[in-house]
Structure 1
Amino acid sequence: MRLTPVLALATLVSGCLFDKEPEVVRLSGETMGTTFNVTAIGEDLDETALATAIEGTLAEVNAKMSNWDPNSEVSTFSASNSTDPMPISGEFALVMTAANEVHQKTDGTFDVTLGPLIELWGFGPRTPEDPVPADADIQAALSSVGQDKLLTLDPEAKTLAKSNASVGINLSAIAKGYGIDAVAETLRDAGVDDYLVEIGGDLVAKGQNDKGEDWRIGIEKPEAGAQSLQLIVSLDDQGMASSGDYKNFFEQDGVRYSHILDPKTGRPITHHTTSVTVLADNAMMADAWATAMLALGQEKGLELAEQHKLAVYFISRDVTGGEDAYITVHSTAFKDALGTN
């Protein structure tokens, strides 16, 4: 689940960078099964040209990465019965290279072949009457999960092969981040140096806002049905993604089942971490790492974050403190990113 970012006003003005009152262009719409919001700041901005360029960029991203589009590049690959290496676009190869990196560093916790398990557990057209999957069905689904064993990427030749014809790829945990970075590049190509791009709760920010202040983003408290702030961070030329399990889950026979699945067990996670926020050099890596860190949980995730110098903020349920009690922990790199804020 992606959390909606909350823009927060800075309390101190750091000085305006523009010779005259800057223009602000705000664009929004729908993409990748969710919404997008773009704020571009500068002088002599052409809103129509920016809107056209951004729409074109998002259309290209969807044509390659969307699991919602049966004709997209990733959907075509997943539907293919061939196990021969298939030519893929440079963009698809870039995303798969990043996915492989996070997969390797998390010992397989981040996995783009989770589709059979996601479908088996019924996220999301699930009804309360649907039974919890049987052990045998989980084991059968696991046979089609494991990108390191089932997928072979050649980034130089730009080919991708699967060892089992039934294997599919789901890029929902990384494609939005890639799309954000692509839109940011479109803005830079148009001469925009100050911007905020957000898709489905993931975002990237660069420069300053129209008041000459740092972009300040609020991290939500993990409370379903409410929108209150846990923390505010300042971003400059960084990607940010938050992932949580407190809005997408189901309960059956007194057991809570998260939509975050462990690719090793084939079952929902059982630890108490409920929200994770990651800051990274770009939105694509923040997107992937946020999902991975939530699946790992605070204990394992924090150890990995320190090992790879990742900026990560964990919110976990305090099981001894009541329903709305939480424990927060962050990595050293996240503390450094906060500065004096």
Structure 2
Amino acid sequence: MFLSLTLGSTLALVALAGCSFEKEEQIWEIAGPVFGTRYHINVVLTEDEARLENLGEGIEEVLDGVDASMSTWRDDSELSRLNSRDDQSEWTDISAPLYEVLVSAADVSSLTDGAFDITIGPVVNLWGFGPEARPDKVPDDNELAARLDATGYEKLELRAEPPAIRASKPQYIDLSAIAKGYGVDAVARYLVSAGVTSYLVEIGGEVRVNGRKPDGSAWRLAIEEPVSEQRQINRVVALDQHAMATSGDYRNYYESEGRRYSHTIDPDTGRPIVHTLASVTVIAENAMLADALATGFNVMGYERAQALATRENIAAYFIVRRDGGFETHHTPAFTSYLTQ
């Protein structure tokens, strides 16, 4: 049985037909819009309308807080205010959540030799994949060089106590490749604090689970076939803890003068990725890390990413374009999650 909670200015409870009147644990769904996409949260609980309403309101509050801190689409967000500062050379105090995300981003940037870079936003915007309008023409070398010169995760410096940031050169920080994952983790922490031990939290494809379904089975998650025309399953994984995120170039792209341009930008070149890796899925302890690693691996391409993930014992699943079709590969750490 599922219960749909529609979150917004009002909260509505809709119970589907065929529900049992016994107080047994069942799966309830809480869903709504956020971050320009949607969230879907399944919780395993006995029927309790008041508790479910409270959970829905609490989840909305948590996600509103993440959006108010980390959105680049909101002029009044904490991150937008930071990005708008002309002089970033002095320490600027930041919230603990924003500091947590920035530290994790820095760690993944170092691990991937800069393939993951939260300062690449100006270049992403230049290609038309951010708040700026889609360009009339493909950026030329001079435009790219100017934007690239203004980027570089190494220019950021973080301080733990009190949380603060400064930059040797003004930076535009874009957390779109890690903030959704953080939002998933924030909701998961809230659910645990509210006494929910079995749940599935999904925001825009980033997922974190814990516990099992009422019948004792693990949560089953699908890895999509990387095709834009339709949605079909490539493989299914089973999880009772941890998080999973996928990054690919098959959904968000545009075509200009017969060429296809992916939304994933290589920080080394300032250009959309052009290699044969169609998608990569990562399983990690938390969604923030899985989200960032999947993006970094997608930038790196199959050979480099596979070598790094294997060396670091990271669970990763790769779908690679070969001869008009796809072939799949995974690291040893991913094997135990695959279903038959």
Q: Give me the TM-score of the superposition, normalised by structure 2.
A: 0.89
Q: Aligned equivalents of 1:159 and 1:310: distance in 2?
A: 30
Give 1:252 shift.
Answer: 2.9
Shift of 1:212: 2.4
User: Paired residue for 1:14?
Assistant: none
State the AA in 2 paired with 1:69.
Answer: R
Contact 1:97 1:155 in 2 (8 A): no
Alpha-carbon RMSD across the aligned residues, in angstroms, is 1.6
Partner in structure 1 of residue 257 of structure 2: 253
Residue 13 of structure 1 aligns with which residue? none
Stretch deviating more after TM superposition (117-126 or 286-295): 117-126
What secondary structure does 2:336 align onto?
helix
Matched residue, 1:53: 58
SS at match of 1:111: coil
Give unpaired runs (5+ residues) of structure 2. 1-21
Aligned ranges for residues 1-341 of structure 1 at < 5 Å?
21-43=24-46, 45=48, 46-83=51-88, 84-123=90-129, 130-148=136-154, 150-165=155-170, 167-318=171-322, 320=323, 322=324, 325-338=325-338, 341=340
* Mapped partners of 1:142, 1:126: distance in 2: 19
Segments of structure 1 that go 5 or more residues without pairing to the other structure are 1-18
Spell out, residue by residue over 1:73-125, the C-alpha distance to the aligned partner (whole angstroms, 9 max, x if none).
11111111222110011111110010000000001110001111011111267
How far apart are residue 258 of structure 1 and its match? 1.5
Q: CA deviation at 1:314?
A: 0.6
Letter matched to residue 217 of structure 1: L
- 2:136 corresponds to which letter in structure 1? D
Secondary structure, in 3 states, of the residue corresponding to 1:81?
Answer: coil
| Higher RCO by CA contacts (8 Å cutoff, separation 6 or greater) | 1
Contact 2:24 2:47 in 1 (8 A): no
Q: Match of 1:5?
A: none
| Percent identity of paired positions between Structure 1 and Structure 2 | 42
Aligned to 1:12: none
For residue 277 of structure 1, what is the amino acid of its counterpart? T
Q: CA deviation at 1:298?
A: 0.7
> 2: CA distance between counterparts of 1:277 and 1:80?
36
Q: Distance in 1 between matches of 2:126 and 2:196?
A: 44
- Give the AA of the match of 2:53: T
Seen in structure 2, the aligned counterparts of structure 1 residues 107 and 186 have a Cα distance that, compared at 3 Å, is: same
Rounded to whole Å, the distance in 1 between the matches of 2:72 and 2:213 is 34
Corresponding residue number in structure 2 for 1:15 = none
Shift in Å, 1:255? 2.7
1:202-235 CA deviation, whole Å, 9 max, x = no partner? 0101111233211001111011121111000001
Give the secondary-structure state (helix, strand or coil) at the position aligned to 1:250.
Answer: strand
Return the alpha-carbon distance in structure 2 between the equivalents of residues 188 and 134 of structure 1.
Answer: 50
Checking the alignment, whether the CA contact within 8 Å between 1:152 and 1:161 is kept in structure 2 is yes
